[in-house]
Amino acid sequence: MARLPTDINIDILSRLPVKSLLRFKCVSKSFCSLIDSQEFIKIHLKRSIETNSNLSLILSGTPAPILDSSRYWNGKIFSASLDSLNLGVELDHPFKNCKGRTPIIDSCNGLIALKNDENGIAFWNLSTKEHLILPKFWGDLKDKVYMVVDGFGYDAVNDDYKVVRLVHFVRENVEYTEVSVYSLRTNSWRRIRVDFPYSILHGWDGKFADGHVHWLVTKNPEDYIENLIIAFNLKSEEFHEVPLPHLGNKNDVLVMFVGNFSGCLYFSCLCNYPQPVDIWVLKGCWTKAFSFHRSVGDYVKALAYSKSEDKVLVDKFKYGEDEDINRWELCWYDPQNQRAADQVTIHGGVPQGCRDTIVCMDSLVSLAAYAGSGVAGREGRMSYKR
């Protein structure tokens, strides 16, 4: 195979999973150089996106929005291949031995952004074990801040990974929001001047889709729930409003959610019983993709299609009088027949109950390739675990 032309080697290797490619780096210096090249990494990532392959389900102990809980699994995070979902593996993440909560902000192109109450934010490639601790956010936020929410995503135009942080201050009965952006290219934070005439009611981090990070907000701080989606363009670093899908009787809405499904923004809401849980996907315009009967769950989170695309992996939550019943459960859902098809049980010591789930694409994206020159002399540091 080593004697094949380079373009044929690239085509063959780009079809392999990341774990195999990391092993093949030991075959020869030429293989190692090829697999580590930015050209090959982007080709492999592009193929994974186009074929919807190399996906892992990430389960973290910090509960998803809808349920507060003191059960945080002691900072444990697990992964399971989306191809099988039968075995979970505990991950050695950057904040594993740190105190406090460690929620995952979001995942993009194989990189995960997660934060810790005491140690800030880290970028982490769970496939290559590479991680970067971001420079500390400036200032003492404890006494002045009402809410802090983050978002993470990829600026394709500038080939940069960014975190955007919204800090909602309350000082002497005056409320205002500061917006700051972290760039992996420069490994630094900077404040940006934008108009932000919105209120954040919940501390839920934004969700990335189509070059934008999205949050649910309201223009009226006295509203009971958020009723507007705002999108932050990671290239232009400007906000714009995204109209909600048609909801019928908005008085029946209890809670709204946004997320990423198969690369697109999705919106769902929890309404008064017994109304179904509807999920809309934004592809130019809102399209109702799924409608879940309340027997499936009080809240249903769509995660990914099966390989055959005839089923959808969903995380469902059902309220109950017993706290032990209040938990999320995974299942495959048959959208054509509108019924839960197969229950999913992940073995390997994955705790049950309250937790959050995201889908992450395994990739070779290198933090060092982006931030290597920007790390020197700055607070951020690059770290590798083998």
Kindly report, residue by residue over 65-108, the tens digit of the pLDDT.
555 444 555 678 999 999 888 889 999 999 988 887 888 999 99
> What confidence tens digit (pLDDT) does each residue in 238-273 have?
999 999 998 876 677 888 889 999 899 999 888 888
**What mean pLDDT value characterizes the chain?**
84
Residue 47 pLDDT: 95
Relative to beta strand 104-108, strand 89-90 is unpaired
Gyration radius of the chain's alpha carbons: 21
Q: Report helix, strand or coil for 250.
A: helix
> What confidence tens digit (pLDDT) does each residue in 23-69 have?
999 888 888 999 999 999 999 999 999 998 999 999 987 655 555 44
Residue 186 pLDDT: 93
Q: What is the mean pLDDT of residues 326-351?
A: 80
> What confidence tens digit (pLDDT) does each residue in 162-218 have?
999 998 877 777 778 889 999 999 999 999 988 889 988 888 899 999 999 999 998
d(CA 372, CA 383): 11
Q: 123 and 134 in contact (C-beta within 8 Å)?
A: yes
Element at 151 (helix H, strand E)? strand 145-155
Q: What is the mean pLDDT of residues 350-361?
A: 81
81, exposed or middle or buried, with CB in 10 Å at 0-12, 13-18, 19+? Answer: middle
* % of the chain residues with pLDDT over 90: 43
Indicate the pTM of the whole model. 0.89
**CATH class for domain 52-370?**
mainly beta
More confident residue, 6 or 72: 6
Q: 365 and 111 in contact (C-beta within 8 Å)?
A: yes
**Structure token pair of residue 54:** 């190399």
**Domain spans in the chain, listed from the N-terminal domain onward:** 1-51, 52-370
